[in-house]
Structures are given as structure tokens and as C-alpha cells.
Structure 1
Amino acid sequence: MRNSTKKIVKTGVVAGVYAAVTLAFGFISYGTIQFRIAEVMTLLPLISKEYILALTIGCFLANVIGPYGVPDIIFGTLATFISVYLVYLTGKTMKGKKGYVLIASLWPTIVNAIIIGIMLNKLFGVPLILSMLQVGFGQFVVITIIGVPLFKILENKYLKLLK
């Protein structure tokens, strides 16, 4: 019972933090060019697969309250789920190999560029390639440029506490 309670609490806290950070920085979290700061957390499935659910729920909550309604609730949440699942699989198959965190960080960029790029193209008529490049750029900056070094700094000291 204690272990399952701990998992539920961690899931709720991570989901809540993801949603709160996304909404707090809403002015840069949504749009054709977006820097969703909470996406830095998409590297958490490298630590444990339970963060897949937490991040998916957090994204769902942020998108329910966000400005794009049902399309973002469905496709944004789907993009996050696919992304963090691929991050988890990369960690599971490559952990310990040089560059595995960097490789894992590219999945959210690729998946969101495609799914959210298409969604924004359909919603706002932004040219598809431009939309994909803009979303991919924001993801790359937040997750790979900021998130990977942050993950590496925290990995040995603090991330073990998150297991």
C-alpha cells in the first residue's frame, strides 16, 4: 500500500508541476512558436517509467485550461505521451551508453514538431513546414539545449531521489 501511495503522490506532483509551469508561462507555452518550459521534464522517464503517466496527465491538464481547446487536448496530449514513451524506451535500451540522454531528448522535438506542427497548420493555416520548424525549434531549445545539461548536472546528486 505504501509503495502505491508513493507512486500516486509522485504522479500527482509531477503532473501538477508540469501543468502549473506551463500555465504560469502561458505567454510562451502556446502558439506557433512555443517554449513550453515544463517540457524540460520530459527527460524524467529516463529515471522511471511512472513519469510517462505523470507527464501525460500534466500535459492534458495544461491543454484543458490552455487556449486551443479540444484539438490541443487530444493531439497535444497524444504528442506528449508518444514523446515520453520514446524517451523511456531510449533510456531502457541505451542507458549507460554515451549520448543516450541527448538522443532521448530529440524524441519530443521530432514528435511535437510533427503532431503539433500539423495541428497548428490546420488551426491557423500556418504553412506546414514552417509550423513544424517553429515547434521543433522551441522543443529543441527547451529540452536539448536547456534540459540535457540540467539533467546531467542533477543526475548524480538529486535524480536518484525521484526513483
Structure 2
Amino acid sequence: MRVQGMSRTLVITQAAIIAALYTVLTIFAASLNLASGAIQVRFSEVLTILPFFSFAGVPGVTIGCLVSNIVIGSDIFDIIFGTLATFIGAVGTWYIGILFKKTGKNFLKFLSPLPPIIANTIIVPFVLAYAYHVPDGIPFLMLTVGAGEVISCGILGLIVLTALFPIRDKVFRV
């Protein structure tokens, strides 16, 4: 089986590396109390840009989120719906990457962080409100979670995208 010209072994290997990096970065953020709660900036969310380059980023960040949420002791609803938000965002970013490869339109690179920002901004506040009983209202939680996502996915993610873009063929064997 080949995905985007990649062998199954390569996809699995890259996904495993991405998942491991995501987990380590989330644990680090958790040690600084930044991985959960109304105000969160998960450094690991920077990796949600990787599906732009390769399908391996989709299972990589999804599994990384799942494992991270289990390891840091998240509520079961956070484990399920937080992982779902990451998966939705990863698929959206992957799709934007496909559109970029087909059209070569540079503006798509700058849209690539939007799917994880939007997915997490919509889903995570409900998890915080209903699973963790965070007393702030949903609109406020959307603002705070969205701000954290803009920092990690938008700003830092685009820095990573810009750094990896010139070497993407070597790193991801696109």
C-alpha cells in the first residue's frame, strides 16, 4: 500500500516519530501547566502543521494527542473529543497540503494552520466546560483556547512550516 507515493513502512515510521514528539512536547507543556485548562498553549500543537507535508502527520498527531491525553491524566471526554479535534484539524491541514501540491498556490501554506485552530477552538471549550466543569462561559473558553491555538498552530506552526518547506522532500520524501 502506498499513500502519496510513500511506502506503508515509511508512513508508520514517520507517524510514530511525530506521535512520540507530540507526546514529549505535551508532557513538557503539562509540567508548566500549559497543556490543559482554560488557558493552554501546547507546544505539541506546532506539529499539527506536519500533515501539510505528509499523510504521516495525520496519524502521528492524532495518536500523539491520544497518548498524551492518557499520560497526563485527562478526563475520558478530553481523551476522546480532544483527540477528535486534533484528528479533524490534521485531516483539514492534510487536505490543504494536497491542494497546495495540485495548484502550487502559496497562500495555501498560510491557511494550513486554520483547521486545527478552528477544530480545537470549537470542540475543546465544550470539553473544558462539561468534563472539567471550568466555570467560564463557552465564548470565553473559545477565546482563550483559540488564542492558545493561534500561538501554537498559527504563529509557531507557520515558523516550523517555513523552516521545513525548503527541505520537505528530504524530510518527508513527498
Fold in common (TM above 0.5): yes
Q: Structure 2 length as normaliser, TM-score?
A: 0.86
Aligned ranges 1:107-146 → 2 under 5 Å: 107-122=115-130, 123=132, 124-146=134-156
2:93 corresponds to which residue?
87
Find out whether 1:33 has 2:39 as its counterpart: yes
Sequence identity (%): 32
For residue 152 of structure 1, give the secondary structure of its aligned residue in structure 2.
helix
Find out whether 1:161 has 2:165 as its counterpart: no
Greater shift after overlay, 100-109 or 77-86? 100-109
Counterpart-to-counterpart distance in 2, 1:93 and 1:155:
15
Following superposition, the deviation at residue 125 of structure 1 comes to 2.8
Following superposition, the deviation at residue 158 of structure 1 comes to 5.2
2:48 to 36, 42, 47: 42
CA RMSD of aligned residues (A): 1.9
1:14 corresponds to which residue?
18
Q: Is the 8 A contact 2:11 2:55 kept in 1?
A: no
Q: Is the 8 A contact 1:120 1:126 kept in 2?
A: no
Following superposition, the deviation at residue 24 of structure 1 comes to 1.5
Compare the two structures and name the one with the higher helix fraction: 1
Following superposition, the deviation at residue 68 of structure 1 comes to 2.5
2:160 corresponds to which residue?
150
Deviations 1:6-38 (A, max 9, x none): 332222111111011101221211111110001
Q: Structure 1 length as normaliser, TM-score?
A: 0.91
Counterpart-to-counterpart distance in 2, 1:148 and 1:121:
30
Describe the shift of the 1:116–1:4 C-alpha distance in structure 2 as closer, same or farther (beyond 3 A). same
Residues paired across the two proteins, number: 163
Unaligned runs of 5+ in 1: none
Following superposition, the deviation at residue 51 of structure 1 comes to 1.4
Counterpart-to-counterpart distance in 1, 2:8 and 2:121:
35
